[in-house]
Amino acid sequence: MDLLKAGFKEVKDAVTTKKISAVEVTKFFLARTEKLNPKLNAFIKMSDTALEDAAAIDKKISQGETVGPLAGVAFGIKDMLCTKGLRTTAGSKMLENFIPPYDATVVTRLKNAGVVVLGKLNQDEFAMGSSNETSYFGKCKNPWNEDYVPGGSSGGSASAQAARLAMGTIGTDTGGSIRQPSSFTGIVGVKPTYGRVSRYGIVAFASSLDQAGPMVSSVEDAALTLEVICGHDKMDSTTSQKPVPEFSKNLTTNIKGMKIGILKEYEKGVLHPDVEKTYRASLESLKKMGVEFVDVSVSLTEFAVPMYYLISASEASSNLARYDGVKYGFRADFKDLSSMNLDDFYSETRGQGFGTEVKRRIMLGTYCLSSGYFDAYYNKACQVRRMLRDQYVEAFKKCDAILSPVTTSPAFKLNERSKDTLAMYMNDIFTTSTNLAGLTGLSVPFGLSSEGLPIGMQLTGSHFEEQKILNIAYALESVSDVKGKTPHVF
């Protein structure tokens, strides 16, 4: 079995029938990480217990006990998700030494399904960024070309997955943080519908937008992961009671007759020629598969980026208030405590503990929520957000899914945009609407740029319609130009 290519099902079957042990699988990925991670900086912390955890699964199998559907599958977890006894930093100095006494619900569910957690993955600090360049733990590289960013904020997940340092990874997506890096690195990344996946134990960035999802090598692996992590959680009031379909069993490439919406507003966008080419090619392929194209309009997408930054920064300014140096995490070093007042304590701790981008957003959000500005900014953004959602609900009466590029361009070079905040923010132009409207979206690799960088296509689905976009992605994947191609680090 080729562990660089094998899907979850194949590995799980092999492990349960003892053709390979979970320990062997784990060792393989740990060795590969040891070799390649210094180049990529995808993992920022390895688990000390990965081999023990794998041995426990093998033991269960040898004792004839039932094991979960992902038995022996080795995962890397974005450092936004709390892992019991394993350092969780959210990519920040603020949590450099934080070891959670609990697992995020997503992690609990993965472990219960038999997943072995290899370690924790790099990311933009508190998931604020689109290039993984804001991480306190250093930049992460794109395995297709190390001069390029892997995208962000789930850059470590994307980089590790594309380089196959793990069989699967988990990312989080607040405004595109799963889909954009997935597109930049040629993997499949799904942002589930808001409320599909528990946020319990995931470091909060913007609570009304955050969702965790799989960043994996194939649509089938994504479906298998979703089956495990989706579903109601009594620890998160915002999770839905809706039953979770058997996504992987329902997968089909037969999408004949499905209606695919083309968003009028996105057609106006200025696309990089390679993205344009890939987009046209995907339309051509889908046409051959017998889908029907429908023009739809969601006029408020024009305001998606400003809306997104107002709402996400507002929520973040409140969510990040708990990092104050009092209970856990980083605390500024005070030589003389007696002369220190409380304001100094906070401003020094938070001033030293947070990076520039995080501070920028906390200030922006604090401003938006301040009395006198609340109605003009936060409240207005929320009103427009509800209207945007309504427009999408209308649009999805006419189509099963909306097809668009994920970003206007393929991966950009390291340092290329890190000084231009606005250019970096505009990266999110095609992805933020999905979060604002609470929809599901995914990126599926489809083309390659002239420089050999992967380009993904985005499918956006209506609330709780993950199956529809998974099926369309499954069909696109079968004819993708990226299929069988691997990054040069392989």
Partner 1 sequence: MSSNVERPQPKVYNSRGYEAVIGLEVHVQLKTVSKIFSADATNFESGDNENTSPISVGMPGTLPVVNKLVIEYAIKTGLALGCEIRKRSVFSRKNYFYPDLPKGYQISQYDLPICEKGEITFLVGDYEKRVGITRAHMEEDAGKSTHHGDATLLNYNRAGIPLLEIVSDPDIRTPQEAAEYGRAIRQVVRFLDVCDGNLEEGSMRCDCNVSVRKIGTEKFGTKVEIKNVNSFRFVEKAIEYEIERQIDEVEAGKKIVQETRLYDPDKNRTFSMRLKEDAQDYRYFPDPDLLPVILTDAQIQGIKSTLPELPIARAKRFHEKLGLPKTDATVLTDEKDLADYFEKAADICGNAKAASNWVMTDILRELNANKLAINQSPIKPEQLGNLISLIDKGAISGKIAKTVFVEMWKTGEAPEKIVQDKGLAQVSDTGAIEKMIDEVLAANVSQVAEYKAGRAKVFGFFVGAAMKASKGQANPDLVNEILKRKLDQA
d(CA 388, CA 460): 14
DSSP state of 231: S
Verify whether residue 478 is a known catalytic residue.
Answer: no
Q: Which of 130, 153, 159, 248 is catalytic?
A: 153
Q: Which of 49, 145, 318, 409 binds partner 1 (CB under 8 A)?
A: 318
Classified as helix, coil or strand, 399 is coil
Q: Which of 29, 136, 144, 200 binds partner 1 (CB under 8 A)?
A: 200
Q: Which of 38, 101, 270, 484 binds partner 1 (CB under 8 A)?
A: 101
DSSP state of 136: T
Q: Which of 92, 131, 177, 248 is catalytic?
A: 177
Subset of 359-418 contacting partner 1 (CB under 8 A): 366, 369-371, 374, 378
Classified as helix, coil or strand, 189 is strand
From 16-24, 42-50, 97-105, 384-392, give the range in contact with partner 1 by CB under 8 A.
97-105
Q: Least CB distance from residue 337 to partner 1, whole Å?
A: 6
Is the distance from CB of 481 to CB of 447 less than 8 angstroms?
A: yes
Q: Least CB distance from residue 421 to partner 1, whole Å?
A: 23
d(CA 139, CA 133): 5
Q: Which of 49, 112, 145, 208 binds partner 1 (CB under 8 A)?
A: 208
The answer to the question of residue 197 lying near partner 1 (CB under 8 A) is: no
d(CA 414, CA 156): 14
The answer to the question of residue 301 lying near partner 1 (CB under 8 A) is: no
Letter for the amino acid at 472? I
User: Residue 131: which of 449, 416, 409 has the closest Cα?
Assistant: 416
Q: What angle do CA 113, 119, 123 make, to 5 degrees?
A: 110
d(CA 72, CA 56): 10
Binding mask 335-364 for partner 1 (x = CB under 8 A): --xx---x---x------------------
The answer to the question of residue 327 lying near partner 1 (CB under 8 A) is: yes
Verify whether residue 78 is a known catalytic residue.
Answer: yes
Q: Which of 12, 78, 120, 141 is catalytic?
A: 78
Q: Could you tell me the two tokens for 44?
A: 């920022």
Nearer to partner 1 by Cβ, of 221 and 315: the residue is 315
User: Residue 402: which of 307, 257, 293 has the closest Cα?
Assistant: 293
Classified as helix, coil or strand, 349 is helix
Binding site for partner 1 (CB under 8 A): 80-82, 88, 90, 95, 98, 100-102, 104, 199-204, 206-208, 234-238, 314-315, 317-318, 320-322, 324, 326-328, 337-338, 342, 346, 366, 369-371, 374, 378
Which amino acids are annotated catalytic?
78, 153, 177
